[in-house]
Amino acid sequence: MVTSSRNRRAMRVVLCLAAGGFVTAPIAVLFLSVDSPAPESTYFTSGIERLVRSAVLVKTTNGSGSGTLIRKGSECYVLTAGHVVEDTPPPYEVVYPLVWDGITVDRAVYQADLVAYSGPDGPADDVAVLRVRYGGLGTNAQPFRLAKSAPVGSPLQHVGCFLGWMGANSYSTGVMSFIGRSLDGVSFDQTSAPIYSGSSGGGVYNDRGEYVGMIVRSVDPTFNLIVPARRLQSWADAHGFSWLFNGDPAPDNLPIVSLTVTRAEAVTPASETENTESAEGVYPAH
């Protein structure tokens, strides 16, 4: 096996960290702050880094899912799927990977409060919004724009936490496969961008980096349903959250949402459990 000079440097960093060694390179890694701008790197192709840096893992006592950072002034919010937090009491954690030159060296964990929730059943929109308690994470949130439309056949991008933390901030691509797929009377859009358990709540973007929708359901890795941007906008307008998607500041003193827990609390992460089948073989992507 041929090992490049970059890989050799990476191996030295990992080995030194594991062994508790003391050299210059690991010290630089150890003091990398989540609030610091990422160093210039060829690890990402053009335009991809800002999407990946806006993605987080949302962890609950019942499992985990994905989310997208949205910055509002000094505060940071996370848009995710309602079923990621469904039936789950606090605490809610937002986990952000610390990456140095392609190597995940640590993670930053932030406590968050639930400020909006719409469940996954019936005509509900399967949306949740978390407010991160420490605003410093917001420096990683990139400009957020809802897409007006994405025609069938247009290229799409997804960033999510495939299989939970193991696949945190994974990137995949596909196309818009269908617009207005009806499931239990609710309209979804369909994409071929590959996803796996743990992708629920992760963003889907067009080739301009605009937010097309949020992953919520899956039939198989390339047959996936998203809550489209048009539904997210309607939900926000109807529930007083239009500010989340436009230039308005967040309102003061947002109330914290308390969910009613109707099932026994689980301790096994969702990425390690089997999915529960929903209508017509469609599974939550969580």
Domains of the chain: 49-139+233-245 (2.40.10.10), 155-231 (2.40.10.10)
Q: What is the pLDDT of residue 40?
A: 47
Contact (Cβ atoms closer than 8 angstroms) between residue 24 and residue 17: no
Give the chain's mean pLDDT. Answer: 78
| Helix, coil or strand: residue 123 | coil
Residues 45-72: what's their mean pLDDT? 89
Q: What is the pLDDT of residue 41?
A: 54
- Cβ neighbors of 36 (< 8 A, separation 6 or more) are none
Q: What is the pLDDT of residue 109?
A: 92
**Among 95, 88, 26, 56, which Cα is nearest to 201's?**
56
Residues 218-240: what's their mean pLDDT? 94
Give the pLDDT confidence of 91-145 residue by residue, as tens digits: 999 998 877 766 677 888 999 999 999 988 867 789 999 999 986 676 666 778 8
Q: What is the pLDDT of residue 122?
A: 67
Q: What is the pLDDT of residue 100?
A: 73
Better-predicted residue by pLDDT, 1 or 263: 263
Give the pLDDT confidence of 42-53 residue by residue, as tens digits: 667 767 888 888
DSSP single-letter state for residue 229: H
**Among 48, 213, 45, which Cα is nearest to 145's?**
213
Give the pLDDT confidence of 179-193 residue by residue, as tens digits: 999 988 899 999 999
**Among 85, 42, 46, which Cα is nearest to 66's?**
85
Q: What is the pLDDT of residue 114?
A: 97
